[in-house]
Structure 1
Amino acid sequence: MIIKKTAPFGLIALLALTGVAQAHVTFENKDVAPGTTVKFVLRLPHGCSGAATTGLRISIPEELTSVKPQPKPGWTLATAIDDVHKASAEETHAHGQGARVKEISWTGGKLEDAHYDEFVFRATVSKTAQTQIVVPVVQECGAETDRWIELPAAGVSADDLKHPAPVVKVRP
């Protein structure tokens, strides 16, 4: 006699809800080391409330330098620089930039809500980076905007937030 086990309905519902909670904007890399150059891959799993994504802006924290975004076919790429915080001499020599990149934006494309895509940039992690790096993201979907900027309070999981900011941990 073969006994077939099935998952209880509650477990199936919990797993389904977990899948929904995981539908946040996240980085492929979960952790980085100080002083290293890293390829950051931002995963965009959906649009805004069913609307297609038409723009994406990434705010670059000060812990990331020598930022170089990857162009995407069909999208217009732009960077905003911070004239107040000049790039270090080492960064300027290596990349020919006199100011720090503070924002990357991809606009003019169209990513349907039912599709998934990744947006990529390279950056050097500061040697003094500690614990985690928070990278706020704004997703534009025509007239709608999702601001992935929420940070969990102590004892709260990012999965419990509606729009958590993507985070990478800094390992020693």
Structure 2
Amino acid sequence: MSRTPFRRTALAVALGAGLAIAAPAVASAHVGVTPDALAADEATVLTFSFTHGCEHSPTTALRITMPEGLASVSPTVEAGWDIAVERGDDGLVDVVTYSAATPVPTDLRGAVSMQVRPAEDAAESLAFPVEQLCESGTAEWTEIAEEGQNPHDLDAPAPVVSLVAATDSADAGDGAHAASGEAATESAQGDQSADASDAAEPLAIALGAGGLVAGIAALVVAILAYRRRSA
């Protein structure tokens, strides 16, 4: 009997498995921020995380631009990162650059944090454009969704947090102060929770799983057919 059916089946299995593994990786390729909501005129620790480099090149630095509407910014000193702060003419922090003492491999999670306090008149959402510098190349996470546009449709979305009333801050992550304390503790333990947006898109997972199941099913059918013809 010809081995062609088995070769085709093996190819189907390989493609299905590859899709199952690669699709979530592609879907999670961005810089995330936690928490995603904070209260005006209250200090909150924001953690910016990433789990990839620039086309598989290790990350050497994150350059984060501050949005308008922040009354104060205090970068967190953490082992393994050097910090440079750029200020505007008004004395407020404009840009914070975190440089890795050792480049972060593309398959490891990296995270940096800062404490921010939005002004009372800050906008309802605050975007933090991020330039990710790598040993080879850069990635600019600077796209901001327009009104009515789905942020998940963007190729390179900037991390965004929503502003809530102080009385609603408990509903937006157990309160800004609680979020601040939790983030600080997690940073000290090196166990920050991954941003929910870093999880793979459900559609990508479904496609990958479907491809793998289809490949396995094809293999089973081919084996049964071979046994019948050999009988």
When normalised by structure 2's length, the TM-score is 0.58
Offset, 1:165: 0.5
Q: In the alignment, which residue of structure 2 is the partner of 1:39? A: 45
2:64 to 51, 58, 67: 58
Classify the secondary structure of the residue corresponding to 1:155.
Answer: coil
Equivalent residues, number: 147
Offset, 1:171: 1.6
1:149 to 142, 153, 164: 142
List alignment gaps of at least 5 residues for structure 1. 1-9, 86-98
Offset, 1:81: 0.8
Larger radius of gyration: 2
Greater helix proportion: 2
Greater strand proportion: 1
Task: Give the direction of change, closer, same or farther, for the CA distance of 1:18–1:169 in structure 2 (3 Å limit).
Answer: farther
Offset, 1:103: 0.8
**How far apart are the structure 1 equivalents of 2:28 and 2:58?**
19
Whether the 8 Å contact between 1:65 and 1:101 is mirrored in structure 2 is: no
List alignment gaps of at least 5 residues for structure 2. 1-15, 166-231
Classify the secondary structure of the residue corresponding to 1:105.
Answer: strand
Task: Give the direction of change, closer, same or farther, for the CA distance of 1:58–1:15 in structure 2 (3 Å limit).
Answer: same
**Aligned residue identity for 2:105:** E
CA deviations on 1:110-164 (whole Å, 9 max, x unpaired) are: 1100000211000111111122001111000023110110112333322222210
Please give the root-mean-square deviation of Cα atoms over the aligned residues, in Å. 2.2
Q: Does 1:163 align with 2:156?
A: yes
**How far apart are the structure 2 equivalents of 1:36 and 1:120?**
16
When normalised by structure 1's length, the TM-score is 0.77
